Amino acid sequence: MNYRHPHAAILIFTKAPVAGEVKTRLVPPLTSQQAALLHQKLVHHTLRMATRQPIAPVILYCSPDLQHPFFQTCLQSYPITLQQQHGEDLGARMLQALNIQLQAHRYVILIGTDSPTMTQEYLQEAFQRLKSGSDVVIGPAMDGGYVLIGMKTPYVELFTDLPWGTDAVFALTMDKAMQAGLQVSLLDNMVDIDRPEDLPYITALHQAD
């Protein structure tokens, strides 16, 4: 396949859509089953977006394991490969993936599956910032986290001793990057569907599909 960025990779982190284990902060107002169905729809939306045009190889990083029927369906439906997440917390899992993929690719961006307004242009811009010399590129989330992080070197300090899943993640990541003297390029803020107040943004799913 003729990728626009053949020496790069897009890593997509997600979980299997198991009721009671995904989107738990949306219960209530949603039921556990509704939250799992929303998660499943968000994963498909993200995979369609990332693979619609061949930007770079797409690798779906899965939890808890690759054999879940949902991931096997994704593998059959999209031009992707699967890898399993490994690590005690989100930071360790992201760092492990970056360590491996940056041995095979010049630069890598990592995203989740919770941002229905993310576009291919957003991913392209992230790669362009890295190609232009930025050490790190980050797409901030409106809830205080981030929806994208990209780099050419796996900076351990950006993934350790952080309160994952809180509204302090982006600010603390920026503090660590500044202390390390890294050149950070920020993309536009994006919504991240994690809280009840984020639910109105799921209309973007219907508009894009």
Residue 33: enclosing H or E segment and its boundaries?
Answer: helix 32-51
List b or e across 5-20, with b for residues whose CB sees 16 or more CB atoms inside 10 angstroms: beebbbbbbbbbbebe
Per the domain annotation, does 126 fall within a domain? yes
What is the DSSP code (8-state) at residue 85? -
- DSSP bridge partners of 140: 146
Going by pLDDT thresholds of 50, 70 and 90, the confidence category of residue 207 is low
Going by pLDDT thresholds of 50, 70 and 90, the confidence category of residue 63 is very high
Determine the pLDDT at residue 30. 96
Determine the pLDDT at residue 202. 85
**Whole-structure pTM value:** 0.96
Mean pLDDT of the chain: 95
Helices (H), 59-119: 69-77, 90-104
17-29 confidence digits (pLDDT tens): 999 999 999 999 9
Per the domain annotation, does 38 fall within a domain? yes
pLDDT score of 179 more than 90 = yes
pLDDT score of 205 more than 70 = no
Per the domain annotation, does 206 fall within a domain? no
Q: Identify which of 88, 43, 85 has the alpha carbon closest to the alpha carbon of residue 61.
A: 85
The β-bridge relationship of strands 184-186 and 58-63 is unpaired
Determine the pLDDT at residue 208. 53
50-61 confidence digits (pLDDT tens): 999 999 999 999
Residue 96, domain extent: 8-196
pLDDT score of 156 more than 80 = yes
- Alpha carbon 171 to its chain centroid, in Å, reads 18
Per the domain annotation, does 202 fall within a domain? no
Determine the pLDDT at residue 51. 98
Contact 9, 59 (CB under 8 A): yes
Per the domain annotation, does 107 fall within a domain? yes
Number of domains in the chain: 1
Per the domain annotation, does 201 fall within a domain? no
- Residue type for position 116: P
The β-bridge relationship of strands 58-63 and 107-111 is unpaired
Per the domain annotation, does 205 fall within a domain? no
CATH classification of the domain holding 171: 3.90.550.10
Per the domain annotation, does 76 fall within a domain? yes
79-89 confidence digits (pLDDT tens): 999 999 999 99
